[in-house]
Each structure stands twice: as structure tokens, then as C-alpha cells.
Structure 1
Amino acid sequence: MFKSKSKIALLSTTLISLLVLVGCGQTAAPTNSSATSSADKKTISAAGSTALQPLVKLAADEFMSKNAGVQVNLSGGGSFTGLNNVASGSVDVGNSDVVVTDELKDKGLVDHQVAVAPFLIITNKDVTVDNLTKAQLSDIFTGKITNWKDVGGKDATISIIGRAKSSGSRATISKIIMDGKDFTDKAAAQDSTGNLITGVAQTPGAIGYIDAAYLKDTVKALKYNSVAYSVDAVTSGQYPIYAYEHMYTKGEPTGTVKLFLDYVLSKEFQDKNVEKTGFIAISKMKK
């Protein structure tokens, strides 16, 4: 009888101990799939180039649809903003039309080239000029030429509408067309490509620059050195106004950020979406 009571007491004590352990969270980690997926939910932040934004947004939407629980937050601000933000660690990915600046080269930024962005020179539709040379454009953007009649157009003032100094588009135009010279102080500066297009469309005699993905029929695209933009013109070297598009990370990407960049660079995404959004696949460029 005593032994039976002892066994019962021992079993009761063991059961109570197990219940206490469960209450204190001392059980083994759960292995069900829902718990695992909850732990893996992450948010990716990306900022920078508004020129690259249409491509990154499409990639983000598709990536989120394929990966439940993942959120990709995307904002603009310009290429240099993206570079500075990723260098400081305030975003996971910095989107840029330009390579990393000298002052950020020691910040451990890793470059992921994702596409080629061709740029266009655009004007208000009232401008009668259809073609400009490199020299003419440089003189316009630096303020040396201020009237359309000096480049074969009608007697009308040239209004320059460009981007802010944080813009990679501005840096690209300065490098390729102006050999590094800066824009005249009389040039208006817009904080996004969309606002630039609106400004050019609404301002008589206006000229500006955008990446090809944003072209609308509210403005006119010019030939450059008598060459009209086309994918073939870029890949053959006849049309030189383009930039490689970069998605920078601070250090090698890991986890969900790496999976996102792998998706952007995947054959599935590149073949289906790069040219559809107005860009050119890097694989098409002649080395």
C-alpha cells in the first residue's frame, strides 16, 4: 500500500514538473511550418534612383507575391541619396545610376549591376529642333547658348529643367555630354523624373533629360548627334547616353535581401521584365 502511494506521489510530482516546464516555455522549439514562416518574415528597404524605380518596383511586387510575409519598401530621392543611405545603414539597398562615390569607397559597399538605363534628351513640343550635337547640348546646359535660334530653331528662350544635385541622371548627363562640367545656375531642378517631364511639357521652349523608361507623348525626344535612341543603337555603341544601373548593399547581402537581389538578377526576371520597363539587359551589351 505504501509503495502504491509512493508511486502515485512520484507520478504526480513528475506531472507537475512537466506542467511547470511547459508554462515556463522550456519545451523544444516548434517544428511546424507556420512557426518557421513567421520567424522568417522580413522587411527590405530600398531607396535612391528614380530612374531605376520602375524596374525595382516591378521586382519588389513580384518578389512579394512569391514570398508571403516579405515586405519591400521602396522610395526615391536620387542616386546619391541611395548611396548615402545604404552606406549609413538606414536602408538595405541603395539604387543608383552612378558608381559609388570616392568618399564612400571605404564603406564596404557591394555593387550589383542589374540593367542598363538609356537616357533621352526631351523638349517641349513647341521646339522645332529635332537633333542636337554633343557640343550644342553642352553649350545649352552650361548656359552658353540660351536661344533656340542659335541651334537652328526659332527665336525663343531655352528653359532648362533638370534634376537636383542628388540625382544620378544629372551626373550621367554631366559626365557623358558635358565632360564633367556643371549645369548653369539658371537651370531649374526637379526632385523626380516625373516632375521633370511635367515641367518640360508645360514650359514653352523647355529642354530636359530623362531615362527612356519614363518617356511620354506629352514631350518630344531628340536625336543625339543625328542618332535616334533605340536598343540597337545603344548596344552597337552609336548612342552613348546610358548608364549601368546599380543596387548597392553594405557588405555582401544575406538572408531575404540576398534572395531579393538574386531574383532581380535571375534569368526569369531579366528576360521577362528588363526591356518591358524601358531598360536594356546587361547581357545585350557588347563588351
Structure 2
Amino acid sequence: MLSKGKWLAILVIALVAVLAVAGCGKKEFPAPQQGSSQQSSNQQSGGSGTITAAGSTALQPLVDEAAKQYMEKNPGVRIVVNGGGSGNGLSQVFQGAVQIGNSDIFAEEKDGIDASQLVDHKVAVVGMAAVVNPDVKVDNLTQQQLIDIFTGKITNWKDVGGPDQKINIVNRPKGSGTRATFKKYALNGAEEAQGIAMEQDASGTVRKTIAETPGAIGYLALSYIDSSVRPLKIDGVEPTAANIVNNKYKVWAYEHMYTKGQPTGEVKKFLDFIMSDEVQKNLVTKMGYIPVTDMKVERDAQGNVTPKK
């Protein structure tokens, strides 16, 4: 019969043997490298990082929606889209504050920047229309009547075939590309009267103000026009895509997305996505813009129009 001490020794030996066998079956995995989890996620999403765009509020709805779709396909990428007006977008991209400057005007038309350092990516065309409060029973103005309204010579709708009602002008700030386009092509460059117009910083607030203000008139990109306001013909020509593509309706602009130098990485991939058939043939037209490829004419920074080559 074994003594208590011998039994204890046997149990210790047995326990050591079991632990040794268990150790032989254990697999040692290398410690994960720092960032390996993010790398795996990026391989699935196609990229990572943050892209910031700012500028044109006329272009903002399209870029917002394209960004949303791109981020759904690429969860590792974050795209921030801000407004502020075309002039602001051009200044910010030139200064390096954002990667993309959205603009309704050519960079050459913006003072205070070196346009030669920016690369132009024309992603769409948009028409701009004079719009009125729906209670204003006018649907057509001559270009001269439009000029006379915005320069303060005509102040009552009765003088252009409408009701006996004061005309209330809603304007955009001077840094707005929509304002610059409307002034250049609808007002033939005429200087608007000072101190007679309400001024709103964004297209959405312009639309809201016109809809809520009796006798109001302003201007919007066609992508912003809904049933709350009514667009006007100019010299009998409707602001439609069919009339814009051949320059029959002349108040239109390219929608530019500028980069400082050639884009690389995720910025290039995002711009390529916007120019893809998926966006151009579906989203662009659905949201009230016109694909650049549909245009039958071309326009330069000076406003010269030529048949498209």
C-alpha cells in the first residue's frame, strides 16, 4: 500500500504530463500588425480617408447624392460636401483647404486665384431660370424687362402684364456662381440695383423666400425648381434641357469640380465615379442636370459658344 506522500508525487507527475501534452497541441498565431484590421476593411471597401468638397449650392445636391452612393460602395471613405458659393469653393481649393472646389463658373472668372494651378472637371451642365412666386400671373418676360426689373426700373408687376403688386427681388451674394451666370447671360451683364433686393446665401433659402414672399422674383438652378415656385420663359423660350443643349436657351453653366493639380487616390476615384455611366445616365438627368456629353455646343470662360467638336 502506497503512502500518502507517494500518492501525492504520482499525482504531480501525472498533472505535469497532461499539461505537456496540451502544450504540444497549441498553435501560436503571430500578433496582428498595427492597422491590420483597418487594412482588411479597406480591401473590402476599396479605399479609406476623407474627401472634402465645398462651393456651388447649385451643384451641391448632385455631389451630395453621388457622395452618398460612393460611400455606400466604399464604407472606408468619408465625403463631406459643403456649400458657400462658387467663389468660396474656388478660393478654398486654391488655398488647399478642401480637395474639391465646386463651381458654376470657370476658375478664370474668379479674382484672387491662379487658375492655372487648378484642374477643371466638368461634371454636368445646369440651366438657371428666373422664378417667381406662384401668385404672380406672369409666365414670360423679355430679356429687357428682366434687366429693367433687376436694375430697379420696373418695380410693379402691372408694368409687365401682371397684377398691381410690388416686385420683390431675391438675390444671391456676389460670390455666387448662380448669380454670376444669371447676370452674365440673363441680364446681359447689367449691374443690379443696390439696396432693393433681399439677399440669401443658398439656393434652398432663395426658393423658400420666393415661395413665401408675395410678388417675389429671383433665380435658381433648374435642379432646385419645384412646385413651390414658377420658372419664367425669356423671350418666349422655356428653360428646358432640350433648349439648353443647342443654346436656344442661353442661361446655363457648366458644373465644375476643380482640384489643385491632377487628382490622385480617392479624390480621383470619386471624380471617376461621378463621370461614370452609373451617375451620368441616371443620377444627373434624374436630378435636373444635363450630362456634358448631351451638349451640342461648347462655351469658354469668355462666354463664346461654338458647335461641339
**Alignment RMSD (CA, Å):** 2.4
The 8 Å contact of residues 123 and 222 in structure 1, kept in 2 or not, is answered as yes
Q: Corresponding residue for 1:273? A: 283
Segments of 4+ moved more than 4 angstroms: 27-33, 35-40
Q: Which of the residues 92, 104, 108 maps onto 1:85?
A: 92
Q: CA deviation at 1:46?
A: 0.3
Q: Which of the residues 44, 51, 59 maps onto 1:44?
A: 51
What is the DSSP-based 3-state SS (H/G/I as helix, E as strand, rest coil) of the residue aligned with 1:103? coil
Kindly tell me: are residues 133 and 42 of structure 1, through their superposed partners in 2, closer, same or farther at Cα, counting changes over 3 Å? same
Kindly tell me: are residues 131 and 70 of structure 1, through their superposed partners in 2, closer, same or farther at Cα, counting changes over 3 Å? same
Q: Corresponding residue for 1:235? A: 245
Q: Which of the residues 110, 130, 136 maps onto 2:145?
A: 136
Q: Corresponding residue for 1:158? A: 167
The 8 Å contact of residues 87 and 107 in structure 1, kept in 2 or not, is answered as no
Kindly tell me: are residues 204 and 106 of structure 1, through their superposed partners in 2, closer, same or farther at Cα, counting changes over 3 Å? closer
Q: CA deviation at 1:102?
A: 4.4
The 8 Å contact of residues 52 and 100 in structure 2, kept in 1 or not, is answered as yes
The 8 Å contact of residues 106 and 256 in structure 2, kept in 1 or not, is answered as yes
Kindly tell me: are residues 43 and 148 of structure 1, through their superposed partners in 2, closer, same or farther at Cα, counting changes over 3 Å? same
Q: Corresponding residue for 1:216? A: 226
Give 5+ residue unaligned stretches, structure 1.
Answer: 1-21
Give the TM-score of the pair, scaled to structure 1. Answer: 0.86
Kindly tell me: are residues 117 and 106 of structure 1, through their superposed partners in 2, closer, same or farther at Cα, counting changes over 3 Å? closer
Identity of aligned residues (%): 47
Query: How many residue pairs are counted as aligned between the two chains?
Result: 264
2:118 and 2:49 mapped to 1: Cα distance? 21
Q: Corresponding residue for 1:19? A: none
Question: Once the two structures are superposed, what CA deviation does each residue of 1:87-131 show, in whole Å capped at 9, x if it has no partner?
Answer: 111111000000112432356111100000111211112212110
> What is the correspondence of 1:137-216 to structure 2 with a 5 Å cutoff?
137-185=146-194, 186-216=196-226
Report the AA paired with residue 65 of structure 1.
E
2:227 and 2:34 mapped to 1: Cα distance? 63
Determine which structure has more spread, i.e. the larger CA radius of gyration: 2
Q: CA deviation at 1:143?
A: 1.2
1:35 and 1:129 mapped to 2: Cα distance? 57
Q: CA deviation at 1:162?
A: 1.4
Kindly tell me: are residues 162 and 153 of structure 1, through their superposed partners in 2, closer, same or farther at Cα, counting changes over 3 Å? same
Kindly tell me: are residues 182 and 257 of structure 1, through their superposed partners in 2, closer, same or farther at Cα, counting changes over 3 Å? same
Q: Corresponding residue for 1:56? A: 63
